Amino acid sequence: MSSDVKVVDQLNSTKQAEKSADINATSNIAISVKNVGKCFQIYDRPQDRLKQSIFRGRRQYYREFWALKDVSFEVKKGETIGIIGRNGSGKSTLLQIIAGTLSPTEGEVQVNGRVAALLELGSGFNPEFTGRENVFMNGAILGLSKEDTDSLFEDIVAFADIGDFIDQPVKTYSSGMAVRLAFAVQAMIPKEVLIVDEALAVGDELFQRKCYAKIEEFKRQGGTILFVSHSGSTIIELCDRAMLLDSGESLLIGPSKRVVNLYQKYIYAPASKKELIRQEMIEQSQQFSGEVNTKVQLAGTQKRAERVEQSSEAKQVRQRAMYDPFLVPKETLQYESRGAKIYNPEITTLTGEKVNLLIPGDRYIWRYYVKFHKPCQNLRFGMLIKTASGFELGGSVSSFSGEGVSFLQSGDIVKVEFTFTPRLNTGTYFLNGGVLGLTEEGEVYLDRGIDLAAFKILHNEDSLMTSIVDFSVVPEVIEVAGPDIPESKIEGFLHSLHEC
C-alpha cells in the first residue's frame, strides 16, 4: 500500500472513530462488530484487472473470495480480547476493518474512542521525510494537534531509542528502526482502544519486552485491547476472552483458556472428526456469551488445603501421602484419539502413594498408561505443567523429535512415568499428558489430555521466594560502609572494595 493511500485510510479511520464516539459515548461497549463480511476480488491474470476496469459492470473477470463471513461480537470497555485461528483465517482482515484501514463489504463496525493500531507498522511513514517530521505527520493523521504531539515527542523518541536517526530521512532507517519509531508513536498517543497484531514481532527481544510492558500498562489502566496471536499461551495469559476464527467465520467466543484448548483439539483432530468438533464449538459459543469458568471443583478444597498448611502437621508431612479428592480439574479435555488412548493419569510419591497436595522441592511421579488401538511408530510421550491461568511453565518429552519408541502393536499397553520436582510457589497447577506418533501426516498427537490432573503446592513457611518459579535464590545483605562516604565518592569507594 502506498503511503498516500494509507494516509487517506487513516484519516477515514479517525473520522470513523469520532463518529462512533458520538454514537457510543455513554455505552460500556468499546467495539461493536455486526454481521461483518469482507469479499476480495481475485484476478487470476493481471490483464483481467485491466479488462474489468474497461468493461466495468458488463462482465466479471474476477472470482469472489469471502475472507470474513457474518462476524459479530462486542468488546466491553477495559476488556482484552484475543483472536486466534490458522493462517489465512481472516484475523488481520478483521483487525484492519476495526482499525479503519480496510472497509467491510457488508456489516457495520463501531469503535468508541480513539484507536491505535499496531499493524503494518511504518508503512504510513514517508521515506523522504525525517523521523521527526513523520512523527508529527502521524500525530496529525491520528487527530492530534501540533501541541499534543509536541508534548509527547520526547517520550516517543525515548521509547523508540533510535538516537540521532530521528533527524535523518526514514529511507536511511533499517526496517527495525522504522518499526520501533512507528510502535512508539502508537504506544504513546492517548487512546481508548489498542489493536495489536503480534505477528509483527517488533525488533529484538529486549524491545519486544518493552512493547509488551507498554501493552500491559495500557491494560492495567483500563484500556480495551484486541490482540491477534498464534500463541495460545500468550492469549490465555493476556486476554479475558478469545475468539476463534476459521475460514472467515467466528466459530467460538468464550473464556480464553477454553477457546485455546478447543482450538488445539480442533487443529490436531483427524479430518473425519473436524466437522463434528466445529459444530460442537459453534454450540458451545452460544453457551459462553460472557460466562466465566471456574477451573477446579473447589468445594472444600481451599479450606482443606489451608488447614493443612496452617497446622503444625504440615511440617511433619514430608513423605506422607497427601491427597484431596476434591482437587480435580473441572474441565479435562481429551483430543480425538488417533490410535492411542491415555488412561489412569495420576501423581504419586516415589513410593507409589497417590497425591495432589505437594511439598515444594520434593520428588514426585506423573504417571499415565497408554493403550494402542493400531500399530504405531516413532512414539514420544509428553507432560506439561501449567498455572491456573493456563500459562505453560514447563514440561518434557520422552525423546527428541523423530526418535522414540520405534514400534508398538495394536493392543499394546505402556506405562509412562515422569519423575519431577515442583520447585514452585504455593498455588494450584495443572498437568497435561500427550502421545505423539508418526503418521502419514507427519508427527501428530495420537492422544492428548489437557488438565488431566491438578495439584496444589503447599505453603513453605521458610521460603522467601516470590512469583511462581523457585530458582533456589540465596539472598545476602552485608553492610559495607557507614554514613561517612559522601555521594560524590560512592563509585570510587565501591570500586576500591572490588580491588581489595
Ligand X SMILES: Nc1ncnc2c1ncn2[C@@H]1O[C@H](COP(=O)(O)OP(=O)(O)OP(=O)(O)O)[C@@H](O)[C@H]1O
Q: Is 229 in the site for ligand X (CB under 6 A)?
A: no
Q: How far is the CB of 419 from ligand X (least distance, A)?
A: 39
User: Least separation, in Å, of the C-beta of 115 and ligand X?
Assistant: 18
Q: List 329's β-bridge partners, or say none.
A: 296
Residue with Cβ nearer ligand X (91 or 386): 91
Nearest residue (CB) to ligand X, 195 versus 384? 195
Q: Which is nearer to ligand X, 199 or 350 (CB)?
A: 199
427 pairs with which residues across the strands? 457
485 binds ligand X (CB under 6 A): no
Using the rule CB under 6 A, is 5 a contact of ligand X? no
* Total residues interacting with ligand X, rule: CB under 6 A: 13
Shortest CB 42 distance to ligand X, Å: 6
Q: Which CB sits closer to ligand X, 88 or 222?
A: 88
Closer residue to ligand X, CB minimum distance, 42 or 158: 42
Q: What are phi and psi of 262, to 5 degrees?
A: -65, -35
- In the window 156-215, what residues touch ligand X (CB under 6 A)? 199
87 binds ligand X (CB under 6 A): yes
Listed in sequence order, the residues at least 6 apart from 288 whose beta carbon sits closer than 8 Å to its beta carbon are: 252, 253, 254, 255, 258
Examine residue 90 and tell whether it contacts ligand X (CB under 6 A).
yes
231 binds ligand X (CB under 6 A): no
Per CB under 6 A, does 101 bind ligand X? Answer: no
Residue 66 in the binding site for ligand X (CB under 6 A): no
Part of the chain binding ligand X (CB under 6 A), chosen from 87-95, 321-329, 398-406, 443-451: 87-95
Q: Looking at beta carbons only, is 92 or 332 nearer to ligand X?
A: 92
Name the minimum Å distance from CB 141 to ligand X.
Answer: 22
Residue among 52, 92, 378, 426 that touches ligand X (CB under 6 A): 92
Find the binder of ligand X among 9, 71, 91, 224 (CB under 6 A).
Answer: 91
Stretch that binds ligand X, among 84-92, 118-126, 171-179, 295-303 (CB under 6 A): 84-92
| Residue nearer to ligand X on the CB measure, 97 or 435 | 97
Question: Which of 302, 347, 298 is closest to 459 using CA atoms?
Answer: 302
Minimum CB distance to ligand X smaller for 24 or for 96: 96
36 near ligand X, judged by CB under 6 A: no
User: Considering only 83-91, 180-188, 362-370, 441-449, which stretch makes contact with ligand X by CB under 6 A?
Assistant: 83-91
Residue 89 found at the interface with ligand X (CB under 6 A): yes
Q: How far apart are CA 475 and CA 255, in angstroms?
A: 39
AA identity, residue 22? D
Among 88, 190, 290, 427, binds ligand X (CB under 6 A): 88
* Gap between the terminal Cα atoms of the chain: 63
The rounded distance, in Å, linking the Cα atoms of 390 and 256 is 9
93 interacts with ligand X by CB under 6 A: yes
Q: Contacts from 145-151 at CB under 8 Å and sequence distance 24+?
A: none
Of 85-93, 279-287, 314-322, 326-334, the window that binds ligand X (rule: CB under 6 A) is 85-93
d(CA 334, CA 427): 24
Q: Which is nearer to ligand X, 109 or 347 (CB)?
A: 109
Q: Under a CB-based contact definition with an 8 Å cutoff, are residues 359 and 317 in contact?
A: yes
- Residue closer to ligand X (CB basis): 86 or 459: 86
Q: Segment contacting ligand X (CB under 6 A): 82-90, 322-330, 340-348, 389-397?
A: 82-90
Based on the shown chain and the rule CB under 6 A, indicate whether residue 276 belongs to the binding site for ligand X: no
Cα–Cα dist 340/410, whole Å: 9
Spatial separation of the C-alpha atoms in residues 443 and 439, rounded to whole Å: 6
Q: How many CA atoms lie within 13 A of 191 on its CB side?
A: 26
Stretch of residues binding ligand X (CB under 6 A), selected from 86-94, 115-123, 232-240, 288-296 = 86-94
250 lies in the binding site for ligand X (CB under 6 A):
no
Give the range of 91-99, 325-333, 426-434, 477-485 binding ligand X by CB under 6 A: 91-99
Q: Given candidates 44, 47, 60, 65, which one binds ligand X under the rule CB under 6 A? A: 65
Placement of cell 462512533 in the chain = 20
Q: Does 40 bind ligand X (CB under 6 A)?
A: yes
Cell digits for 255?
473464556
Grid coordinates representing 40?
A: 476480495
493 in contact with ligand X (CB under 6 A)? no
**Nearer to ligand X (CB atom), residue 244 or residue 384:** 244
Does position 123 interact with ligand X (CB under 6 A)? The reply is: no
Q: Which is nearer to ligand X, 101 or 149 (CB)?
A: 101
- Positions that interact with ligand X (CB under 6 A): 40, 42, 65, 67, 85, 87-93, 199
